[in-house]
Amino acid sequence: MTRALPKLTALVAGAALALSACGGTTEEATDGASAPASGGGDVTLTWWHNSNTGEGKDYYDKVAADFEAANPGVTIDVQAMQHEDMVTKLEAAWQSGDVPDIYMERGGGELADKVEAGLVKDLSEAAGETVEKLGGSVNGWTVDGKTYGLPFSMGVVGFWYNTELFEQAGITEAPTTMEDLYAAIDKLKAAGIDPISVGAGDKWPAAHYWYYFALRECSEEVLSDAVTSLDFTDQCFVRAGEDLAELVGKEPFNPGFLTTPAQSGPTSASGLLATRKVAMELAGHWEPGVMQGLTEDEQGLGEATGWFAFPEVEGGEGDQSAALGGGDAWAVPADAPDQAVDFVEYLLSDEIQKGFAELDMGLPTNPTASQYVADPALAKLLEVRDAAGYVQLYFDTAFGTSVGGAMNDEIALAFAGQATAQEIVDATQSAADAEK
Amino acid sequence: MTDATTTRKRAAAAVTTAGEGGRAKRSPSPRSTRSVNWRMGLEIAVFVLPALVLFFMFVVWPMLRAVQFSVYRWKGFGPLTDFVGLRNYISVLTNDVFLGALGHNLFIVVASVAIQLPLGIAVALLLNRKMKFQGLLRTIVFIPYILAEVIAGVVWFQLLQPRYGVIDSILAGLGIQGPAQGFLGTPDLALWTVMVVLTWKYLGFAIILFLAGLQGVPQELDEAAQIDGASWWQTQRYITIPLLGPTLRTWAFLSMVGALQLFDMVWILTGGGPANATTTMATFLINEGTKRSNYGIAGAASVVLFVVALTMALLYQRFILSRDTADSDKRKVRR
């Protein structure tokens, strides 16, 4: 319908944008794009996002209105949804082929599948400037050297801990090596505190441990090769499982961890940390927000919130500073009008990312916006992210749900002592072979 | 209003005529029969069509689509192009997790009947005796069944929390220590724990059905037996329970179908875990389909589930329920 913009106009719009983008400021860019768009008929862009409450929602409404004002003829149909609803609706939208013009993309294998089917627009040229500015952050949204999504928020996984309980157990410094972590676990146990909560019932929180051990044991080349070739024969993957078995053998986890959910309710892994029942949990940047939602005073751990990076593994071949993470990107379906790309670039501009950071809506990817993150724990995490050797996208996202699911299932079995290090690799490999 | 009534009467008349007309043409003139038939056909079509359309849209069509998906490799978007024949079926039927899930379903089918049948009969017989608060007790017994499955699941999940949960606290009060990983977190106990919760949830349904069945057992037989000197036990054993047969068999059928399709309670309590100890065919196909986007595999699993359920249902109808229908037919003939 409204997507049927004459091709020529689209080309002109793209060219004008590319030219004006070189000019630098956002205002110029949007002005440049507005002239041909107004001549080529009206366009309505559908935008789905998940900031459906409070300031975040108002902010995005304003962002859309500003863009409309700067681009006469462009109307943005903003649809704010609760996150899970959005994910479900997006899935259905892909099945029916009626996808919004700007949608949230998690990257990795799922994106690669869509790219293979020719369903997602290549942004490497159209938004080249922004791609360059975001630097390594776009890696998770790159397929065969082309970028298909622009991440607007990216976090890394690490240990969130209760500083008061650590103090109570006599732990003075946050662990930096596995040896330190094991010592901390012993001290916590001696003090009668359950050391770690893990939502192994949901599987992915348990899988993050194995991912991190793989990150420490495997070199960056081996990992990036594995993402494309789906070849897991390198022995470092087995060593990752052995490291995991050692950790599980120390019995650091909350009772019943095999069926503990990740985030739902006070008895979930996040809930146990928030209600001071355990000392730490391995989780992503979302954790403070989740914990706030799980406590009556909406403070989560409040002042007692601490964060440290996943410890180093002695003798590992991998980058000991590498981080596991992931995030959300804006992407555009292949058949969407070019103004959608303009809008995505606008969303990642310095100005919009600054507001995004100031409202604590996520961890901005535009380097100029990092300084505006107010929350101290998040700011620390951002430091680690920016200092990390590289950020590896969660394996289950990177390998796609099919291989990732098989991998997570087997890792969860290892947590139950029912799968060996080799079996994790074998299960992953056989799921990967089924994909080839 | 009157029009409608007449039409309905006519329709009823038409049905009888048609029913008899099928066997022997007793109707006065063939032409009028034909016009009545035509009218009846139209009427049936008008009344049934909306339901049929819905039925096709939401039952038949999805089923056909599932069959279609099951022979393709499909990730949930784009056209179906990657035809793989029966490969998805082979991978489902050789998958240890699926076979485990099938085993769990069959365990629950058997255990449900083995546990709930005697318990249900016992409680129904008790509640059938005249006593104080009979109505109240019947209501209490039935409450778990009317609770929403999800709510009941969440409540039990919280009760069964290791260490902090109510059940562990009670056990601790009695000086018994619950399992370290909790009842739901210990692979060897999890399925039994789920079974306990299912029994709690569905026993009320069995009892209500049995109670209804007991109302159909004629009082005279009971009295006659008592006059003949039968004890209460003997009366129940040789008169009441055999007469309750049709109800029991119908209940067992419903219980079997429910057990084969079991999903929600397991999903909430354990999600199929720990270590796949409580997976069912339904959790398997949700996991493969919506979680891993292997819609082909999920399609194949759903077809297998359908075939297993249909086969068991048909066999049950043929060999067990047929007794009841045959009985009633015979009785009719005798009359």
Confidence of residue A71 (pLDDT cuts 50, 70, 90): very high
Tens digit of pLDDT for each residue in A169-202? Answer: 999 999 999 999 999 999 999 999 999 999 999 9
Q: Does residue B29 lie within any of the structural domains?
A: yes
Q: Do residues A21 and A139 share a domain?
A: yes
Q: What is the pLDDT of residue A288?
A: 83
Q: Does residue B76 lie within any of the structural domains?
A: no
Q: Do residues A264 and A354 share a domain?
A: no
Q: What is the pLDDT along chain B (335 residues), one digit of tens a residue?
A: 344 444 444 444 444 434 444 444 444 555 667 778 888 889 988 999 999 999 999 999 999 999 999 999 988 877 888 899 999 999 999 999 999 999 999 999 999 999 999 999 999 999 988 888 888 998 999 999 999 999 999 999 999 998 888 999 999 999 988 888 889 989 999 999 999 999 999 999 999 999 999 988 888 888 898 899 888 888 888 888 899 999 999 999 999 999 999 999 999 999 888 989 999 999 999 999 888 888 999 999 999 999 999 999 999 988 888 877 765 555 554 44
The answer on pLDDT for A63 being more than 90 is: yes
Q: Does residue A1 lie within any of the structural domains?
A: no
Give CB contacts under 8 A, 24+ apart, made by A119-122.
A119/A94, A119/A333, A119/A334, A119/B77, A119/B78, A120/A148, A120/A149, A120/A331, A120/A332, A120/A333, A120/A334, A121/A148, A121/A331, A121/A332, A121/A333, A121/A334, A121/A336, A121/A340, A121/A341, A122/A146, A122/A147, A122/A148
Using CA atoms, how far residue B49 sits from A23, B37, B42, B45, in Å, is 64, 17, 10, 5
> Which of B73, B150, B292 is the best mutation test for A, with the most CBs of A within 10 A?
B292
Q: Does residue B260 lie within any of the structural domains?
A: yes
Cis? peptide before B274, omega within 30° of 0? yes
Tell whether B294 lies on the interface with A, counting CB pairs under 8 A.
yes
SS3 A326: strand
* Chain-chain contact of A412 with B76 (C-beta, under 8 angstroms): no
Q: Does residue A259 lie within any of the structural domains?
A: yes
Show the domain range for B30. 2-69
Q: Do residues B293 and B329 share a domain?
A: yes
Q: Does residue B268 lie within any of the structural domains?
A: yes
Q: Do residues B26 and B131 share a domain?
A: no
SS3 B199: helix
Q: Do residues B63 and B174 share a domain?
A: no
Q: What are phi and psi of A410, to 5 degrees?
A: -70, -35
Distance, in Å, from the CA atom of B260 to the CA atom of B308, rounded to the nearest integer, reads 8
Nearest chain A residue to B294 by CA: give it. A402
SS3 B83: strand
Neighbours of B164 (CB within 10 A): 17
Distance, in Å, from the CA atom of B209 to the CA atom of B207, rounded to the nearest integer, reads 5
Q: Does residue B118 lie within any of the structural domains?
A: yes
Nearest chain A residue to B180 by CA: give it. A255
Q: Do residues B93 and B65 share a domain?
A: no
* Chain-chain contact of A114 with B161 (C-beta, under 8 angstroms): no
Q: Does residue A253 lie within any of the structural domains?
A: yes
Contact B187, B274 (CB under 8 A): yes
Q: Do residues A314 and A333 share a domain?
A: no
**CATH (domain of B102):** 1.10.3720.10
The answer on pLDDT for A32 being more than 60 is: no
Q: Does residue B74 lie within any of the structural domains?
A: no
Distance, in Å, from the CA atom of A236 to the CA atom of A176, rounded to the nearest integer, reads 21
Q: Do residues B154 and B221 share a domain?
A: yes
Whether the CA torsion A269, A271, A277, A282 is positive or negative: it is: positive
C-alpha A201 chain-centroid distance: 21
Confidence of residue A436 (pLDDT cuts 50, 70, 90): confident
Q: Do residues A231 and A357 share a domain?
A: no
Q: Do residues A402 and A283 share a domain?
A: yes
- Return the structure tokens found at B311: 């086969």
Q: What is the pLDDT of residue B31?
A: 60
Q: Does residue B33 lie within any of the structural domains?
A: yes
Contact A214, A395 (CB under 8 A): yes
Q: Do residues A218 and A310 share a domain?
A: yes
* Chain-chain contact of A413 with B276 (C-beta, under 8 angstroms): yes
Contact B257, B142 (CB under 8 A): no
Q: Do residues B190 and B265 share a domain?
A: yes
Any idea of the CA torsion for B254, B259, B260, B262, to the nearest 10 degrees? Answer: 120
Contact B211, B124 (CB under 8 A): yes
Q: Does residue A139 lie within any of the structural domains?
A: yes
> Which of A111, A204, A258 is the best mutation test for B, with the most CBs of B within 10 A?
A258
SS3 A72: coil
Q: What is the pLDDT of residue A311?
A: 95
Q: Do residues B118 and B232 share a domain?
A: yes
Instruction: Report the candidate in A395, A359, A428 with the shortest Cα–Cα distance to residue A153.
Output: A359
Among B184, B274, B294, the residue with its CB nearest the CB of A416 is B274
Nearest chain A residue to B271 by CA: give it. A201
Instruction: Report the candidate in A137, A135, A141, A142 with the shortest Cα–Cα distance to residue A153.
Output: A137
Q: Does residue A132 lie within any of the structural domains?
A: yes
Q: Do residues B27 and B115 share a domain?
A: no
Show the domain range for A210. 158-324+391-435
Contact B151, B158 (CB under 8 A): no
Q: Which residues have C-beta within 8 Å of that of residue A82, sequence separation ≥ 6?
A: A50, A52
The answer on pLDDT for A35 being more than 50 is: no
Q: Does residue A123 lie within any of the structural domains?
A: yes
C-alpha B28 chain-centroid distance: 47
* Chain-chain contact of B275 with A267 (C-beta, under 8 angstroms): no
Among B19, B35, B69, residue at a domain's last position: B69
Among B23, B38, B69, residue at a domain's last position: B69
Q: What is the pLDDT of residue A227?
A: 80
Tell whether B283 lies on the interface with A, counting CB pairs under 8 A.
no
Q: Supply the mean pLDDT for chain A.
A: 86
Confidence of residue A33 (pLDDT cuts 50, 70, 90): very low
Tens digit of pLDDT for each residue in A285-341? Answer: 888 888 888 888 888 888 898 999 999 999 999 999 999 998 899 999 999 999 999
SS3 A221: helix
Q: Do residues A250 and A148 share a domain?
A: no
Residue holding tokens 């989740």?
A: A290
Among B69, B99, B123, residue at a domain's last position: B69
**CATH (domain of A263):** 3.40.190.10
| Maximum C-alpha span of chain A | 73
More confident of the two residues A410 and A382: A410
The answer on pLDDT for A13 being more than 50 is: no
Amino acid at A188: L
Distance, in Å, from the CA atom of A354 to the CA atom of A352, rounded to the nearest integer, reads 5
Tens digit of pLDDT for each residue in A193-237? Answer: 999 999 999 999 999 999 999 999 999 889 888 887 889 999 999
Q: Do residues B118 and B172 share a domain?
A: yes
Q: Do residues A63 and A190 share a domain?
A: no
Q: Do residues B199 and B144 share a domain?
A: yes
Q: Does residue B295 lie within any of the structural domains?
A: yes
* Contact list, A201 vs chain B (CB under 8 Å): 270-271, 273-274
Neighbours of B212 (CB within 10 A): 11
Q: Do residues A234 and A356 share a domain?
A: no
Q: What is the pLDDT of residue B18?
A: 41
Q: Does residue A2 lie within any of the structural domains?
A: no
Q: Do residues A287 and A422 share a domain?
A: yes
Q: What is the pLDDT of residue B327?
A: 58
* Contact list, A405 vs chain B (CB under 8 Å): 287, 291-292
Average pLDDT over residues A72-79: 93
Tens digit of pLDDT for each residue in A91-146? Answer: 889 888 889 999 999 888 889 888 988 899 999 999 989 998 888 788 889 888 89
Radius of gyration of chain B (CA): 26
Number of domains in chain B: 2
Number of domains in chain A: 2
- How far does chain B reach from its first CA to its final CA, in angstroms? 38
Q: What is the pLDDT of residue B11?
A: 41
Distance, in Å, from the CA atom of A254 to the CA atom of A133, rounded to the nearest integer, reads 43
Q: Do residues B127 and B246 share a domain?
A: yes
Among A117, A258, A267, the residue with its CB nearest the CB of B273 is A258
Q: Do residues B192 and B131 share a domain?
A: yes
Residue holding tokens 């103090």?
A: A167
Phi-psi map region of B175: left, alpha, beta (phi>0 left; psi -120 to 50 alpha): left
